[in-house]
Structure 1
Amino acid sequence: MRTPHYAPLISLVALCTLGPQAQAYELYNEDDGATVLNADLWAGFGWFGSEKNYLANPQEEPGRMRWQEGFAKYGLNGTTNKIGPGSIYGGFSLISTGSWGDGDAGAITAGNERRTAVEDAYLGWKSGDLIPALGTDGVDFSFGRQLVTVDGFLITDDGFAPGKAFSPIPGVADGRFNRGGAFYLGPRLAFGNTAVLKLGGTDGLHGSLMWLKSDNPGQSETEVAAATIDYTTPIGSIGSTYVHGLDVNERYTFADRSERKGMDIYSIRGQGNAGIENADFAFEVARQEKRSGSQRAMFFDAGYTFADVKWQPAVSYRYSRYSEGWDFLFQGGFRKRYQGEVAANYAGSVTSNMQINDVLFSVQPTDKLTLNAMYFHYHQLSDRDTQDFSAREVDLYLDWMVTDNITLSPLVGFYKPKKWLEDGGLQSGSASTNTYLQFIVWVTF
């Protein structure tokens, strides 16, 4: 049985360059920012190729696949402090996505997906100086359809974007999980419905309470409640996250998704430079309690930038580990350390039953060009359904800001699995090294 993909869905290329609302075009500005209305555009198009595939279908030899993905997100956002105390903010956007060609190398998309739908539709209120004890904007309440991200790896976004080919049951792809293509680019990040209360700002002691309801069939339309508490200083922050599973849609449950209802997750996490200039550290240790038992996951990473050296070389190391029954929940790639290109997206789950070591090295010849190299070693912790996703991967890529609005991101990856389709892996043809290519154009206005 093929293991479903539990991949982080935004590439490291994207998270190193652009955010979904990195820029905006100002349509209206009254009284020096008292009331502001912005227009947003975020778009991307990618060309992809893989010399091997991971379809778990012997009829697809030798396995070469070519496909394309694209999206455009467009809308409005604004804020005003002229209606009562504090300020009111909100946003509305649509997103159009599509996939073309053979479909991706992991049988998530078929290459004929298209969809336009509402992406953001939210309102919020910030307290301004109304409650001095909590600081400026010490209360921030928002609701509606929006992106919600929590530090660490438990809740990053709702970006998992399967297409018509995705099926947890081999041979049964009825399209019920289809979100309209652009699986790799993964721009559909917003949760279907939310209510988020943040208290205390971003410094000192602060926290949040939230309710998140996914409308993503690939996430079994999971509904959760969550709480965070953090203490932030100039050298870093320490915090904790608690997540409780409220419900799932049984029509879309597969594998152990039904256990999300009633599941409890606890974590301790931290990040910062620990007082060391140009250093960066982060960690999280998490535990899941569900009907089948306890599961654990953790990561630690450390990095350093040689800021006084030509091209400002930076190096970092990350260790992560996920127990055999770990549920990845809403772990994504956007604004987080990515877990590899081929391994994470196409070649099998890397967020359960896996130990991962990876190293990132980058240099910045100019303020608009960054060259990157990553090495990954994936080691499966125990046998599971006779499949073994142990592998090594090297990814070489660059981020080139051609203009303030356009970034080009070419990448070449080399993926060497321990096993292939006929002896317990997923790769077609053989366990020889697969060459993977992609070229993405990102646009923001």
Structure 2
Amino acid sequence: MAWRTTGVIGLFAALICAINPVVAAEDEHEKAGQRFGFGDLEIGLTLDAGLGLFGVSNAQNGLGSLSSHGRRKGGRNWAEAYVTPGIDAAYFLNDTTLYGGVKVTGSATRGDGEAQRNSVTDLRPTAFGLSEAYLGWKSGLAFTALGEDAIDISAGRQGFVVGDGFLIADGTLDSFRRNNYVLGPRSAFDRTAILRINTEPVRADLFHLESNTDQQYLRGKDAAATSLHGGNIEWFASSHRDHGRSEYEERQWYLGATVLTLTDADQAISPRRDGMTVYALRSGGALLSSLGEGWQDAALYGEIARERNGATGRRLRAEAWYVEPQYTFSALPWQPRLSYRYMHFSGDNNANDTVENGWDSLFSAGGPRGYGSWDLGEIYARYVGGNSNLNSHMTHLKLQPMEDLSLGAIWYRHNFDKRDYANGVRSERLLDEVDVYALWTTPLPGLSVATVLGAARAGDGRRQQLGTTDATDRTTWLGQMVFSYSF
């Protein structure tokens, strides 16, 4: 493994050093990359690249990870890499702007493949293809009373996130032949039509989305093809100028509501999705900052969502919610931020009735809040389970010793919401996990390095679920380092 990864690192470093962006963005909110002007036409070139090195020992708490050829391995070491070049253009029409962009992604996985119970990338897959292609129109200064670019209409294959990614964040499954299972460089939805109303203090989205699904390419192993439309509205305050109108990270606080309707879905894979309606309310940020200076360090995040389907043969009543208070000790060295979150994703332990109660996590993904968002543990979320039939506690301590360096530790306790007594699961204890991470924004513009060390122990319920109590009493250990470059 060592010689393979050393070569990949060298290639990745050489690629980065060869790139010398002539034009850099002067403001972090401006477009990155190299840009060229031709009268009213502006063209930009972008590049995103990533390299991840991963090692897992005692996979599945000692049970091991099964390879495609039937061999079980207790330890796995692998590398994932991708490159996504892109070109975008903007054409200025008096006060408005036409824009568009195209991105292609090439990726590969090498080594043993990831450490799920049944590994899906152990055959060293590679992939190359179109990852984004979209066209849009922005209102510019046409409606000055509403703000610059208050109306944004776009269509095509593109990324889209609602809130912090609790429901909608990732429309493409990176797995099997698409590989890069952990890095996940593709996230766009297909055949989108999105209207963003970027006003302040209230903004809204109206959208139609389809999952980027290709069962033929993934040989029947892609996610369920799904089509949905919905609306999202948010009341918020910006923390930086008026950038909160269009950027989640720049909202000092927000209150929001979302309604989704799934009009078409692959019933063979997700039988309850077709006809599903989803309702959600959310909050986030420094909601009490208006009470005084001391309250600016306090934040409260939360969301409650319900899934309903009344169609015959597809009846569904499921819910999920979380609450997460945070406090930043800004007067202390390294500005420690402490947060606690309790999460509930409903489960179903009665296979004989006609109503399903298990939560469908839809298109949830890591989200814009970084580690500890909706990938619940670098071990659990990647290799054990998902956000359904789960009650979970999370405690997160984040430190900022330098502006370009973040350190953190996260503890999870995962429990089953419903125990599967029929299959011998008598305990609710699923898994405990601890992750320690560091994120460094290097002096080389665009390059960041993230490292994680993790450990997880299976609870009695998890061992009973696997039916191998004696074979799953070991601690799973994880080490990973991810290099990311963007300009």
Task: Settle same-fold status: TM greater than 0.5.
Answer: yes
- Of 26, 47, 61, the residue aligned with 2:34 is 26
Match status 1:220 vs 2:224: yes
Alpha-carbon distance in structure 2 between the residues aligned to 1:425 and 1:124: 49
TM-score (normalised: structure 2) = 0.77
- Of 393, 399, 407, the residue aligned with 1:363 is 399
**Structure 2 contact 134–156 (Cα < 8 Å) conserved:** yes
- Residue in 2 that maps onto 1:352: 388
Match status 1:390 vs 2:388: no
**Structure 1 contact 389–419 (Cα < 8 Å) conserved:** yes
Match status 1:160 vs 2:173: yes
- Of 317, 333, 339, the residue aligned with 2:366 is 333
Match status 1:283 vs 2:302: yes
**CA shift for structure 1 position 70:** 1.1
Structure with higher helix content: 2
**CA shift for structure 1 position 421:** 7.7
Q: What pairs up with 1:28-427 in 2 under 5 angstroms?
A: 28-29=36-37, 35-54=41-60, 57=66, 63-81=74-92, 83-106=93-116, 107-132=119-144, 134-152=146-164, 153-163=166-176, 178=177, 180-199=178-197, 201-216=198-213, 217=215, 218-233=222-237, 236-249=253-266, 253-254=268-269, 257-274=270-287, 275=289, 276-290=295-309, 291-324=314-347, 325-336=358-369, 337=373, 338-349=375-386, 351-384=387-420, 385-386=423-424, 390-402=430-442, 403-419=444-460, 423-425=464-466
- Which amino acid is the alignment partner of residue 45 of structure 1? L
What SS does the aligned partner of 2:471 have?
A: coil
- Higher RCO structure (Cα 8 Å, ≥6 apart): 1
- Which amino acid is the alignment partner of residue 194 of structure 1? T
After superposition, give the CA deviation of every residue in 1:53-109 in whole Å (9 maximum; x if it has no partner): 24675975561111111111111123232x254112221110011111111110232
- Deviates further, 185-194 or 234-243: 234-243
Alpha-carbon distance in structure 2 between the residues aligned to 1:441 and 1:118: 23
**CA shift for structure 1 position 131:** 2.9
After superposition, give the CA deviation of every residue in 1:115-174 in whole Å (9 maximum; x if it has no partner): 1111111111111232345433221100011001111411112243221xxxxxxxxxxx
Alpha-carbon distance in structure 2 between the residues aligned to 1:319 and 1:410: 25
Alpha-carbon distance in structure 2 between the residues aligned to 1:300 and 1:47: 33
Alpha-carbon distance in structure 1 between the residues aligned to 2:74 and 2:30: 37
- Which amino acid is the alignment partner of residue 96 of structure 1? G
- Which amino acid is the alignment partner of residue 403 of structure 2? D
**Structure 2 contact 171–210 (Cα < 8 Å) conserved:** no
**Structure 1 contact 355–378 (Cα < 8 Å) conserved:** yes
- Which amino acid is the alignment partner of residue 446 of structure 2? N
**Structure 1 contact 288–326 (Cα < 8 Å) conserved:** yes
- Of 420, 426, 429, the residue aligned with 2:471 is 429
Alpha-carbon distance in structure 2 between the residues aligned to 1:68 and 1:426: 31
Two-structure CA RMSD over aligned residues (Å):
2.5
**Structure 2 contact 338–398 (Cα < 8 Å) conserved:** yes
What SS does the aligned partner of 1:344 have?
A: helix
Aligned residues: 401
- Residue in 2 that maps onto 1:8: none
Alpha-carbon distance in structure 2 between the residues aligned to 1:203 and 1:193: 28
**Structure 1 contact 220–248 (Cα < 8 Å) conserved:** yes
- Residue in 2 that maps onto 1:168: none
Change (3 A) 1:203 1:344: same
What SS does the aligned partner of 1:260 have?
A: coil
Larger radius of gyration: 2
Change (3 A) 1:46 1:401: same
Change (3 A) 1:127 1:421: closer
**Structure 1 contact 26–36 (Cα < 8 Å) conserved:** no
What SS does the aligned partner of 2:271 have?
A: helix
- Residue in 2 that maps onto 1:4: none
Alpha-carbon distance in structure 2 between the residues aligned to 1:335 and 1:26: 25
After superposition, give the CA deviation of every residue in 1:309-347 in whole Å (9 maximum; x if it has no partner): 222221111111100110010101131414111001101
Gaps of 5+ in 1: 1-20, 164-177
Alpha-carbon distance in structure 1 between the residues aligned to 2:378 and 2:71: 21
- Which amino acid is the alignment partner of residue 342 of structure 1? I
- Which amino acid is the alignment partner of residue 407 of structure 2? L
